[in-house]
């Protein structure tokens, strides 16, 4: 999720407009009367008006330009470009405004051309650059502090989400139904097929090992996740037999792409948990990559007596993806199929 924080307070915000122009008035009074107290009232009035117009053009134009920069660049991806552009605006914009003001507006107000080489003109230009640099520095510092503060907050929230996902996945493995079914299956296999029983235990240990080793990872390579999912699917296929059919279509060259950790296990668990699986109604689960998305799809044959579900697993996946990319998790349900498309990272 890209983070945007406004560098400027906004040119169309009413409170900021009033506050900004009050400050401009005070600055115009200061610079318009500076060194001019011995001049006539008419001359002082012209100087104050000139200062107000020039400072107003520089400040409001600067705010507008910084708003444009906010829309073009993001703190988390284009920090250096944003800082360099802000600095360039602070240097160039006052020069452009002062030059335009002296050539066009100054003669209208004062009735004679401006002496571009005069000390007063140069002083106004330097003051304009310094003030704009100062204003931009304040705005950029405030915006960057907000970005830094909220980045830490969102990282902590993402960490909590990852822990929650791990907990949900682990809980699904150790709940009484799963343990009962696993032990019951293993018990029957020990006498009927010791070799399969041994494979069952190995895959069960692989599932737990993966859960423990991946707990610190937010994302994982597809090949790693598929190895874990294969073990998880094996345990369920021993239970459901040929009534649970899982197919995988992932090109080797895309296997190093990444997805959110434990996402596939949660989606497969949901498919098994909420659908009828029988000889008359086999459950088909497809996993593959289509158009830069990892697809998990199953035929839809919901149980009439639904298991209690609060949607934590699927919502957790969606939430974690929102922190990592602007690409959204796509969830599609028809009368016949349920599909989840995960963005590749």
The full set of domains in the chain, from first to last, is 14-154 (no CATH), 175-343 (3.30.565.10)
Task: Tell me whether strands 337-343 and 293-299 are parallel, antiparallel or unpaired.
Answer: antiparallel
Predicted confidence at residue 277, as pLDDT, reads 93
**Among residues of the chain, what percentage have pLDDT more than 90?**
21
Residue 210 predicted with pLDDT over 70: yes
User: What whole-number distance in Å separates Cα of residue 199 and Cα of residue 31?
Assistant: 86
| Residue owning tokens 């080793």 | 213
> Which pLDDT band holds residue 47 (cuts at 50, 70, 90)?
confident
According to the per-residue pLDDT averaged within each range, which of 63-72, 128-137, 291-300 is highest?
Answer: 291-300
Residue 250 predicted with pLDDT over 90: yes
Cβ-based burial of 324 (10 A; exposed 0-12, middle 13-18, buried ≥19): middle
Residue 340 predicted with pLDDT over 60: yes
Residues of 42-78 as b/e, b for ≥16 C-beta within 10 angstroms?
eebebbbebbbbbbbbbbbbbbebbbebbeebbbeee
Token pair belonging to 166: 């791990």
User: What whole-number distance in Å separates Cα of residue 63 and Cα of residue 67?
Assistant: 6
Pick from 95-104, 173-182, 335-344: least confident: 173-182
Residues 256-290: pLDDT tens digits?
Answer: 999 998 899 889 988 998 999 999 999 999 999 99
pTM listed for this prediction: 0.54
Phi/psi-derived region of residue 4, left when phi > 0, alpha when psi is between -120 and 50, beta in every other case: beta
Between 166 and 335, where is the model more confident? 335
Whether 289 and 295 have beta carbons less than 8 Å apart is answered as: yes
């Amino acid at each position: 999720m890209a983070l945007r924080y406004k560098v400027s307070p906004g040119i169309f915000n009413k409170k900021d407009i009033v506050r900004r122009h009050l400050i401009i008035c005070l600055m115009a009074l200061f610079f318009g009367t500076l060194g001019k107290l011995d001049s006539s009232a008419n001359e002082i009035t012209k100087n104050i008006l000139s200062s107000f117009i020039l400072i107003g053009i520089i400040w409001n134009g600067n705010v507008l330009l910084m708003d444009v920069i906010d829309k073009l660049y993001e703190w988390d991806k284009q920090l250096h470009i944003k800082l360099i552009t802000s600095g360039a605006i602070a240097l160039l914009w006052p020069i452009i405004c002062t030059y335009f003001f002296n050539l066009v507006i100054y003669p209208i107000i004062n009735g004679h051309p401006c002496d571009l080489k005069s000390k007063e003109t140069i002083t106004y230009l330097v003051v304009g650059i310094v003030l704009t640099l100062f204003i931009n520095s304040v705005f950029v510092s405030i915006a960057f502090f907000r970005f830094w503060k909220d980045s830490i907050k969102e990282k902590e929230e993402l960490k909590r989400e990852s822990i929650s996902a791990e907990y949900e996945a682990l809980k699904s493995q150790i709940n009484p139904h799963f343990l009962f079914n696993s032990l019951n299956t293993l018990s029957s296999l020990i006498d009927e097929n010791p070799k399969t029983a041994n494979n069952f235990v190995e895959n069960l240990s692989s599932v737990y090992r993966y859960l423990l080793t991946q707990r610190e990872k937010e994302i994982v390579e597809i090949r790693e996740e598929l190895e874990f999912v294969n073990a998880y699917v094996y345990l369920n296929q021993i239970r459901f037999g040929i009534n649970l059919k899982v197919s995988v279509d992932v090109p080797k060259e895309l296997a190093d792409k990444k997805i959110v950790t434990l996402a596939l296990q949660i989606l497969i668990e949901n498919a098994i948990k909420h659908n009828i699986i029988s000889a008359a109604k086999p459950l088909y689960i497809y996993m593959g990559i289509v158009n830069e998305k990892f697809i998990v799809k199953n035929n839809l044959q919901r149980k009439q007596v639904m298991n209690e579900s609060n949607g934590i697993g699927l919502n957790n996946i969606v939430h974690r993806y929102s922190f990592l990319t602007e690409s959204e998790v796509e969830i599609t349900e028809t009368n016949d199929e349920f599909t989840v498309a995960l963005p590749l990272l």
